[in-house]
Structure 1
């Protein structure tokens, strides 16, 4: 069964699709062991892992590098990779750049905005593609709720239908009212994956650093399932203290020379 067919079947069976981001092999390995359905190598790696000020700074080489790392950590798990900002300005650009991400190990690519012509070009090239509407991190400077008015909600619905008819395998809905996401999810054949889009989408995606509590940032759409940031800070501080106070390394951390060789010194 193809990746697209599997997720369409999950939607038809009302089985929620689980998606998380990952950018490195150890995290990907942990997500695969947890049974995640899909790993997203998203442009969120720029602001969450690479120290960039904006998603627009993420390059195709960045995404490809991290796709390869994730593939090594999760060899059997489907991977969705973001096409970075300005890499899909034309259908030809989208196809060429998507092929490089597929070659790196991705199974499907994603781009932002209501551009059915990009979907058709990728589908014609045999590349599964996910859409992404609502908040578009690459293009919207202000990270605010979208689709709040009737006009905006109707436009999102029309955009989703157009992308669906063009052949998307999946649609990310980010930061839109739950009622709008529900309408979209029921109107299109492709499975919808929500982030801040409520409870009625066909699946959910979150950013791994938000899930793990790497920073003190609190987002309404997120749930902190762990406090890894605090644990890292505590571990690092304890290490620094133990080295400075000569508690580490201890006797159990050192290696002895064989007695016969030691006697020759």
Structure 2
């Protein structure tokens, strides 16, 4: 398992960090077998696995259930768990209780929280010994306000994002995810911050990259973002299932090769 110190050394040595968002035991096993540095148990599981309309519907219980499965599938991978919508930003006691549950009960290495407004939360978690990854730029939990579009695409917004990035680092964030921001801005932030910066839709000059398992493998994906590259095609599963269905209907499956054979009825009738 990569440690936080090793991940920090990778940034310092300009060695790229790989992160994949995965949500269950079999996908976690595959990600670990591929030697990916970090698994993110993201609240995007709401759309990719649970069929929700957005990340907003994902609960703490949803995240915990899937994070536990991921840890079982990837016992030797650094795992980050999303803090879902509504689990932070209420009051300090409630926020910390949820952070402790997510960190302690999932056996994650860190939690991830969206938004520049959470600097005090990051500091409080850090004081409790809970590592926090910050997420700025396009933050899906706020999509009802900001929409799915590029962020920080003018001077004022870019300067604000730089200021926010410094603020979350100062608050104690161990890492930063930057989503859907101009590549030159992402490069600037990555070079200026001491902590690793992981990009998604932020160009190649961040310290690392993250993509969703289902996007990488075209697994049940209905919409493909501009920044997604597919490396496999699990959509062929539908063809395989259709063939199975047809063979069952035509009594072609199971064949002799898939059948247990022993003339047990002869013994029954004797």
TM-score bracket for this pair, using the shorter chain length: over 0.9
Matches within 5 A, 1:151-162: 151-162=156-167
The match for 1:225 is 231
1:254 deviation in Å?
Answer: 1.1
Q: Which 4+ runs in 1 deviate beyond 6 A?
A: none
**Aligned residue pair count:** 263
* Structure 1 contact 92–121 (Cα < 8 Å) conserved: no
* Structure 2 contact 2–78 (Cα < 8 Å) conserved: no
* Structure 2 contact 178–199 (Cα < 8 Å) conserved: yes
1:65 deviation in Å?
Answer: 0.2
1:3 deviation in Å?
Answer: 3.1
Deviations 1:25-67 (A, max 9, x none): 0110011011010100000000111000111000000000000
Deviations 1:48-92 (A, max 9, x none): 110001110000000000000001111111110000001111333
The match for 2:39 is 39
Q: Distance in 2 between matches of 1:68 and 1:135?
A: 27
The match for 1:148 is 153
The match for 1:77 is 77
The match for 1:172 is 177
* Structure 1 contact 213–226 (Cα < 8 Å) conserved: yes
Q: Distance in 1 between matches of 2:245 and 2:48?
A: 25
The alpha-carbon distance between structure 1 residues 60 and 264, as it changes in their structure 2 partners (threshold 3 A), is: closer
The match for 1:109 is 111
Q: Distance in 2 between matches of 1:58 and 1:207?
A: 16
* Structure 1 contact 22–41 (Cα < 8 Å) conserved: yes
Cα root mean square deviation, aligned? 1.5
Q: Which consecutive unaligned segments of at least 5 residues does structure 2 have?
A: none
Say whether 1:29 aligns with 2:35. no
Q: Distance in 2 between matches of 1:71 and 1:109?
A: 14
Matches within 5 A, 1:122-137: 122-137=125-140
Using the size of structure 2 for normalisation, the TM-score is 0.94
1:262 deviation in Å?
Answer: 2.7
Equivalent of residue 234 in structure 1, options 232, 239, 249 = 239
The match for 1:253 is 258
SS at match of 1:205: strand
SS at match of 1:235: helix
SS at match of 1:219: coil
SS at match of 1:39: strand
* Structure 2 contact 2–77 (Cα < 8 Å) conserved: no
The match for 2:99 is 98
Q: Which shows bigger deviation, 171-180 or 98-107?
A: 98-107
Q: Distance in 2 between matches of 1:168 and 1:3?
A: 15
Q: Distance in 2 between matches of 1:163 and 1:5?
A: 19
SS at match of 2:142: coil
1:2 deviation in Å?
Answer: 8.0
